[in-house]
Amino acid sequence: MRLQENARRMCNRNAAVSGTLFVATVLLVTASGHAQETLYYADIFYPTFSHGYLRKVNTDGTGLQTLVNTGDGLRGVAVDRAAGKIYWTDVNADAIWRCNLNGTGVEDLVTAGLEFPMAIDLNPLNRKLYWGDQGLNLIGCANLDGSNPAVLLDTSFSSGLAVDAVHGKIYWSTSITGTQGEIRRANLDGSGIETVVTGAGKPATIAVDVAGGKVYWTDYVLDVVRRANLDGTGVEDLFVVGANLNPGGIALDLPGGKVYWGQDVSLPPYVGKIMRMNLDGSDPEDVAVNLGMVTDLVLPAPVLGDLDNDNNVDLTDFLLFADCMTGPNIPPAPGCKPADLEHDNDVDLADFRVLQAAFTGS
């Protein structure tokens, strides 16, 4: 069911100052420094086709834990670190669910107006969730509690979605034919649609490094992990799989300089693993093995605007920001890089507005 234009506007509150990019299918949890990192991921079709689990594992491969027995409809995953919630889409129930980070408190949020919801991402500033529906060919949005659902964009949709909240953009992958697709982006109000990547296979799950000017994606038709510049030039093969072994969900650990992705090992039966490599594709290695098909994975980022790493945005963060504020076109001191919330190599009033929005949740 298509919702009316006035419902669409509910998704656009303060879009101009909306939060940091954290890609579709992937973000980074760092409790202190860069040591503690946890991957949350969708694991389906193993040991049988009807199985599916929401799971987590440390990035060194330890601490594997099943959080929710979801069944095989599980597809997209997103994490709200500040609120301690995990969100996921279910293509069997045609619903969006969430739970606490430990798997408790499961609740359904959106249960109507969905046909095959493949992907989900969150905006930490305007407190919205966004999803891509492959069956209805649309991108929808709602409040984080599932209220006020609306259609943001009527568009061809494949399986990748990523929100760049700081710059007010949403990225997604499309399906043009069985073997061709594009990566597109638009403003968070649905306007200004642009094609980012075209003529490069069929992008599936995507992750975007706005500061580095790169988009990363998996292609399960060509069986390759790729990246390109945000203008679509410079397409590079980072990991060529071959043998019809599909790469799945993808995530970026930008501080650590790594790409994480799900990788099929055999099918059927569907046996998969999580891999990682450097951002340039060098040094690929296994992280966790003997899994099912990993359709999505997330490394939740630190809370936007949390400059003192206490998982909260408060007065201390404003005081730290004041010490770092430099003005236009003056590079911040090395210790002040986290205060460069717009990733434009200075700490100024625009960054303060992002910090203020993160504090107020608006």
Say if CB 116 and CB 158 are below 8 A apart: no
Does residue 235 sit within a domain?
yes
Residues 214 and 342 in one domain: no
With a pLDDT cut of 70, the percent of the chain lying above it is 88
Residues 210 and 351 in one domain: no
**Alpha-carbon distance 163 to 122, whole Å?**
7
Does residue 303 sit within a domain?
no
| pLDDT, averaged across the chain | 87
Residues 282 and 347 in one domain: no
Which of the pair, 273 or 15, is modelled with greater confidence?
273
Say if CB 217 and CB 206 are below 8 A apart: yes
Question: Which whole number is the average pLDDT over 26-48?
Answer: 68
Tokens of 92: 């069997």
Burial label for 280, CB within 10 Å (0-12, 13-18, 19+), is: exposed
pLDDT surpassing 50 at residue 3: no
Q: Which DSSP helix (H) or strand (E) runs through 276?
A: strand 271-278
Say if CB 263 and CB 273 are below 8 A apart: yes
Does residue 310 sit within a domain?
no
Does residue 96 sit within a domain?
yes
Does residue 304 sit within a domain?
no
**Alpha-carbon distance 128 to 124, whole Å?**
7
Does residue 134 sit within a domain?
yes
Domains held by the chain: number: 2
User: What is the predicted pLDDT for the residue at 314?
Assistant: 85
Widest CA span in the chain: 57
Residues 248 and 338 in one domain: no
Domain coverage including residue 216: 5-298
DSSP string across 343-354: -SSS-SHHHHHH
Does residue 305 sit within a domain?
no
Residues 320 and 215 in one domain: no
Question: Which whole number is the average pLDDT over 4-10?
Answer: 38
pLDDT digits (tens, 9 = 90+) for 109-152: 999 999 999 999 999 888 999 999 999 999 999 999 999 999 99
- SS3 state at 152: strand
Does residue 269 sit within a domain?
yes
Residues 293 and 320 in one domain: no
What is the chain's alpha carbon radius of gyration, rounded to the nearest angstrom? Answer: 19
Residues 294 and 329 in one domain: no
Residues 122 and 258 in one domain: yes
Residues 144 and 289 in one domain: yes
User: What is the predicted pLDDT for the residue at 16?
Assistant: 32
User: What is the predicted pLDDT for the residue at 113?
Assistant: 96
Identify the CATH number of the domain in which residue 235 sits.
2.120.10.30
Question: Which whole number is the average pLDDT over 71-88?
Answer: 96
**Alpha-carbon distance 120 to 252, whole Å?**
16
pLDDT digits (tens, 9 = 90+) for 301-358: 777 788 887 778 888 888 888 888 876 767 778 778 788 887 778 888 888 888 888 7
User: What is the predicted pLDDT for the residue at 189?
Assistant: 94
